[in-house]
Amino acid sequence: MGNCKSWVHKQREPSRDLTLAILGLDNAGKTVTAKGLQGDSLDSVAPTVGFSSIEFKFEKHKITLFDLGGGKRIRDIWKNYFSEVYGVVYVVDSSEPERLVECKGVLKNLLQHAKVAGKPVLVLANKQDVQGALDEIDICEYLDLEETVNMNKCPCRVETCSAILGQGKKLDKPIKDGFSWLVGIITSNFEKLDARIRKDVEEMKEKAAQDKKERAERVRKQKEERYEDLSVLTSGCS
């Protein structure tokens, strides 16, 4: 009966346009996961260097997924996209315990950001197909996950998975289940999240416009100063 009620509730939900971000360290498997969700081929998948955006249907919702590079030099751009996203998929390489301290720090900084705190996050402990990969309990302990998500009031779910196992209908079941949870919790709280995102995006646009205006003013002043210097130099030669 419970499953029946859940199915009926999902059918009655309106379709939504949802923007999400898939984040994590470099080589965690973000792009493979994104391509798998999209149903695209996993052959010759190249790591994302900067920013990539893909669109696909999930259940009855239109998903826009921001795939952002995880290298140290590129992570600083992540914050430029936080205002637009309803939730986050954070991919962890379970086969590299030596990088989990770095992974923990990045996740902590991510979830405590003002534009992310309070939004739902799906943590995918990827590469379970690799011998020696850490399980869910170990990942949660290494990342101090419970404390971090509670501190920032982020609804969270953890799934252990292997992104390379398939795409589309053959997508690894934990990824599909986890993504279904993420979409479900967003749509259940859509009005509240949507109002927040509209406000944040408007503030972002206003700040961008102000920054552009200030840059233009600086350029104008620099031109005036160069012109004045040139005028002084010219008059001195007369």
pLDDT digits (tens, 9 = 90+) for 167-196: 888 899 999 999 999 999 999 999 999 999
DSSP sequence for 44-111: TPPPPSSEEEEEEEETTEEEEEEEE--STTTGGGGGGTGGG-SEEEEEEETT-GGGHHHHHHHHHHHH
Q: Which residues contact 181 (CB under 8 A, 6 or more apart)?
A: 122, 157
Written as one letter, the residue type at 82 is F
At 197, list the tokens.
Answer: 């995102």
Is 27 annotated as belonging to a binding site?
yes
Q: Tokens standing for 147? A: 């404390």
DSSP-based three-state secondary structure for 167:
coil
Instruction: Tell whether 25 is in a known binding site.
Output: yes
Task: List pLDDT tens digits, range 84-116.
Answer: 999 999 999 999 999 999 999 999 999 999 999
Residue 131 assigned to a binding site: no
The annotation status of 127 as a binding-site residue, yes or no, is yes
Residue 112 labelled as part of a binding site: no
Tokens at 59, concatenated:
């259940």
Confirm whether residue 126 is marked as ligand binding. Answer: yes
Cα–Cα distances in Å, from 130 out to 164, 171, 225, 232? Answer: 11, 18, 62, 71
Is the distance from CB of 122 to CB of 88 less than 8 angstroms?
yes
CB 88 within 8 A of CB 116: yes
pTM here is 0.87
Task: Note whether 123 and 149 are within 8 A (CB).
Answer: no
Question: What token pair was written down for 9?
Answer: 């509730």
**Domains, in order of start, for the chain:** 2-188 (3.40.50.300)
Whether residue 48 is annotated as binding a ligand: the answer is yes
Pairing outcome for strands 87-93 and 61-68: unpaired
pLDDT tens for residues 8-60?
555 667 999 999 999 999 999 999 999 999 987 777 677 777 899 999 999 99
Backbone torsions φ then ψ of 148, nearest 5 degrees: -65, -45
Determine the number of helices (DSSP H) and then strands (DSSP E) in the chain: 7, 6
Q: What's the pLDDT band for 126 if we cut at 50, 70, 90?
A: very high
Task: Establish whether 31 is an annotated binding residue.
Answer: yes
Do the beta carbons of residue 30 and residue 76 sit within 8 Å? no
DSSP classification of residue 14: P
